[in-house]
Amino acid sequence: MFCYQCQEASRGTGCEIIGVCGKNPEVAKLQDLLIYTLKGIAQAVVRGAVEVKARQEMNHEVINALFMTITNANFDDGALEAQIRKMLSFRDGLTAELAGVKLSDAATFTVTDKESMLKKAASVGVLATANEDIRSLRELILYGLKGMAAYAHHALNIGLEEESLYVHTYEALAAMLDNTLGADELVALTLKTGEVGVTAMAMLDKANTSRFGNPEITEVNIGVRNNPAILISGHDLTDLMQLLEQTEGTGVDVYTHSEMLPAHYYPAFKKFTHFVGNYGNAWWKQVEEFESFRGPVLFTTNCLVPPRNEALKSRIFTTGASGFPGCTHIEGDENGKKDFSAIIALAKTLEAPQEIETGKIVGGFAHAQVLALADQVVEAVKTGAIKKFVVMAGCDGRMNSRSYYTEFAQNMPQDSVILTAGCAKYRYNKLNLGDIGGIPRVLDAGQCNDSYSLVVIALKLKEVFGLADVNDLPIAYNIAWYEQKAVIVLLALLYLGVKNIHLGPTLPAFLSPNVANVLVEKFGIGTIGEVDEDIKLFMA
């Protein structure tokens, strides 16, 4: 295996024996083959000038397949094998219609069983591209597509989709098989991926807010009650809604975990009195926190950490693109309806959660809420009460060096405000950093995809202050990344012209020195250093 798609890639270069995330070589190889199969489909679509709109089912499964390969989403070899078979049958159905169209191996290879899949996978992974710069750009685009696919998948679950996202996905995947494309063409495709990332995030924002209302300032309880309970993790709000509906009146409470926390900010979920609060922290602390939670856990997406014992495994359920061998996976029917009765039944037999903290955290500062406070915010900037905003959106992760973000938040001057989204916030959202004239110093917009809200806010401020360039605003970008959703957020920001983004705690292993240089020269991308020095730099 070789994988370097996340921030925790082994030794900062890549996982070769087993993933730091726990992904084993078989799963890594099956994911590689799944991606290769998608490239073959994409080539057939592009070369055959296939009408994308007419291939609804295939489009949805392509998005789902990309999502399954995101870090910490799916560790289930059986599920990946089944998805490869499904995609091969789409591919073969498609190519059968395209007599005379010249296609390459990705669109024509055959496999019979898992063994032949693993054998094939060995020659089609990341390292199959010999030139390290071309490899770097191809992977950068691919990881952006994976992040975009995740967001498109959530929007689709609410009933929204956009043909242009599928069209770009096919074009970009097909381009990865085209050895005539050089660095310039791939850089252009990278920015184009950022553009469709904006489209995907805007679409998901529209889907979420039209279905669940606009997020509003909310205090979220982080303590517990004395009832049996289910913990729901991941990013899918439609799964949460179904779980809340099915648990209502059963005596079983529901708590959010990690990236599901922002669900509390939406009006539609507030009506459920058994929707108690948020339990625990970012994804990587789940190993301990699931022990003390005591009840079942439902993963709707990433980030799942492999459960270390059978007892815990029996309490973990997965749905959607997530999966783990030995954990019960709950499929939806053709209308997306899911039956969570097994989780509810198990919850009733287990103890109430053990309290690990008490108090409240405040969030709900997505675009509508912040724009409702625009006068106050603009006034605070004009009077100098707020001198700087720092966007600290993104992901959290295990590395000790991420304590940088806690220290950074603690040491920022009192006249600065953090704009955040994603699970990165757990490094500072319980610090009580105070407020500036009633405006909290940590404004949490929501999940990682709600970074879109931060962009909407920035563009609005640019308009209000009559600035020509979004980079003239008093906003600095100090983004923490871990997995591929942060990659699409980054590409989206670059596409929108945001410059001088600092990315940490380390730069991606998949950026070759030359590609990293392009990002530095063209976009002013930087990394992080010492907290004190960085604060001086960001506040300047």
* Binding-site annotation, residues for hybrid [4Fe-2O-2S] cluster: 235, 259, 303, 395, 423, 448, 483, 485
Among 190, 447, 478, 512, binds ligand SF3 (CB under 6 A): 447
Residue 392 C-beta: closest distance to ligand SF3, Å:
13
Residue 362's DSSP bridge partners are: 219
Part in contact with ligand SF4 (CB under 6 A); list of ranges 8-16, 377-385, 418-426, 439-447: 8-16
Using the rule CB under 6 A, is 144 a contact of ligand SF3? no
CB-nearer residue toward ligand SF4: 50 or 303:
303
- Residue 137 touches which of ligand SF3, ligand SF4, none (CB < 5 to 8 A by kind)? none
Residues 87, 19: Cα–Cα separation, whole Å: 25
Part in contact with ligand SF3 (CB under 6 A); list of ranges 11-19, 138-146, 477-485, 511-519: 477-485
- Residue 447 touches which of ligand SF4, ligand SF3, none (CB < 5 to 8 A by kind)? ligand SF3
Residues 52, 59: Cα–Cα separation, whole Å: 8
Residue ranges for the binding site? 3, 6, 15, 21, 235, 259, 303, 395, 423, 448, 483, 485
Residues 150, 449: Cα–Cα separation, whole Å: 9
Q: Which two tokens stand for residue 341?
A: 């009765």
Binding to ligand SF3 (CB under 6 A): which residues in 310-369? Answer: none
Q: Which pairs with CB-CB distance under 8 Å and at least 24 residues apart come from 176-181?
A: 176/39, 176/138, 176/141, 176/142, 177/39, 177/40, 177/42, 177/43, 177/104, 177/106, 181/134
Buried b (16+ CB within 10 A) or exposed e, 448-462: bbbbbbbbbbbebbb
**Cβ within 8 Å of residue 115, ≥6 positions away:** none
Using the rule CB under 6 A, is 151 a contact of ligand SF3? no
Residues 100, 97: Cα–Cα separation, whole Å: 9
Among 3, 172, 316, 456, binds ligand SF4 (CB under 6 A): 3
Task: Return the axis-axis angle of helices 484-495 and 451-464, rounded to nearest 10°.
Answer: 20
CB-nearer residue toward ligand SF3: 228 or 504:
504
Part in contact with ligand SF3 (CB under 6 A); list of ranges 128-136, 351-359, 478-486, 531-539: 478-486
Residues 476, 460: Cα–Cα separation, whole Å: 16
Kindly determine how many residues on this chain lie close enough to bind ligand SF3 according to the rule CB under 6 A: 16
Using the rule CB under 6 A, is 7 a contact of ligand SF3? no
Among 23, 153, 274, 402, binds ligand SF4 (CB under 6 A): 23
Residue 377 C-beta: closest distance to ligand SF4, Å:
38
Using the rule CB under 6 A, is 319 a contact of ligand SF4? no
Residue 281 three-state SS: coil
CB-nearer residue toward ligand SF3: 58 or 155:
155
Give the containing element (helix H, strand E) for 518: helix 513-523
Q: Which two tokens stand for residue 481?
A: 């990344």
CB-nearer residue toward ligand SF4: 8 or 161:
8
Contact 423, 485 (CB under 8 A): no
Using the rule CB under 6 A, is 161 a contact of ligand SF3? no
Contact 258, 279 (CB under 8 A): no
What does 450-463 look like in DSSP terms, one character per residue?
GHHHHHHHHHHHHH
- Residue 9 touches which of ligand SF3, ligand SF4, none (CB < 5 to 8 A by kind)? ligand SF4
Binding to ligand SF3 (CB under 6 A): which residues in 33-92? Answer: 72
Q: x/- string (CB under 6 A) for ligand SF3, residues 364-403?
A: -------------------------------x--------
Using the rule CB under 6 A, is 290 a contact of ligand SF3? no
- Residue 136 touches which of ligand SF3, ligand SF4, none (CB < 5 to 8 A by kind)? none
Binding to ligand SF4 (CB under 6 A): which residues in 56-95? Answer: 71
Q: Which pairs with CB-CB distance under 8 Å and at least 24 residues apart come from 324-329?
A: 324/74, 324/75, 324/76, 324/299, 325/75, 325/76, 325/77, 325/78, 329/76, 329/79
Using the rule CB under 6 A, is 303 a contact of ligand SF4? no
Contact 29, 118 (CB under 8 A): yes
Contact set with ligand SF3 (CB under 6 A): 72, 235, 258-259, 283, 302-303, 395, 422-423, 447-448, 482-483, 485-486
